[in-house]
Amino acid sequence: MFVTPGYAEEVAPAAGATQTDAGASAHTSTGAEHGAKGVFPPFDSSSYPSQLLWLAITFGLFYLFLKNAVLPRVGGILEVRRDRIAGDLDQAARMKSEADAAVAAYEQELAEAKARANAIGQEARDAAKAEAEAKRKEVEAGLDQKLTTAEARIATIKANAMKEVGTIAEDTAAAIVQALGAGKVDKADIAAAVKAAGK
């Protein structure tokens, strides 16, 4: 049952035949027997039970080998890869959240810096405006004081000039009257005439 019968049989050499003739005839006879059956040995139905038995044994051993040796290693590799991928995804999510937090902090600091810069600029503008206003008032006060002083001087000079004009006018009128030969003129009359003309 477990062993298939052999197809080659030794044939005894005929009497008077040499060894080479016996070998040639044996080869011819086995070839004839084999050719006579005309069936490829694995396809011979008489050897099916032993072939099926060895197929089952080989398949069972191969299945046990895969189950106990190969599949656990492949499963371990897949588990390691899955854990690594999950770890990488977790790390990427953590890094993304950290980057988002850093961007939010940066934008917050940028907004605060802009607000501080605007406040500082406004304070500088207000201070410059107040300083310019104070200087303008100071200059205006100085100009008003100079204007008042100048007006006072002009009034003094005008008053002095007016006094001198009256005296000059009196002297000039007296000289004209004497030149015209009207005789001696009273100074009081000339002063009164000049004052009347000035009004």
Task: List, for residues 116-171, the tens digit of each pLDDT value.
Answer: 999 999 999 999 999 999 999 999 999 999 999 999 989 888 888 777 777 777 77
pLDDT of amino acid 190? 73
Confirm whether 165 is domain-assigned.
Answer: yes
What confidence score (pLDDT) does residue 3 get?
Answer: 53
- Per the domain annotation, does 121 fall within a domain? no
Domain assignment of residue 70, yes or no: no
Give the global pTM.
0.36
- Distance in Å from the first CA to the final CA of the chain: 170
Angle between helices 71-180 and 187-198 (to 10 degrees): 140
**Which of residues 90 and 40 earns the better pLDDT score?**
90
Its domain, for residue 175, covers 155-198
Mean pLDDT rounded to a whole number for the chain? 81
pLDDT at 112 (0 to 100)? 95
Residue 103 lies in a domain: no
For residue 76, the SS3 value is helix
DSSP per residue, 122-190: HHHHHHHHHHHHHHHHHHHHHHHHHHHHHHHHHHHHHHHHHHHHHHHHHHHHHHHHHHHT-----HHHH
**Residue 8 resides in a domain:** no
Query: Residue 136: what pLDDT?
Result: 93
Share of residues in the chain with pLDDT > 70 (%): 78
- Structural domain total, the chain: 1
CA angle at 154 for the pair 150 and 155, rounded to the nearest 5°: 115
- 85-131 confidence digits (pLDDT tens): 999 999 999 999 999 999 999 999 999 999 999 999 999 999 999 99
pLDDT the model gives residue 9: 47
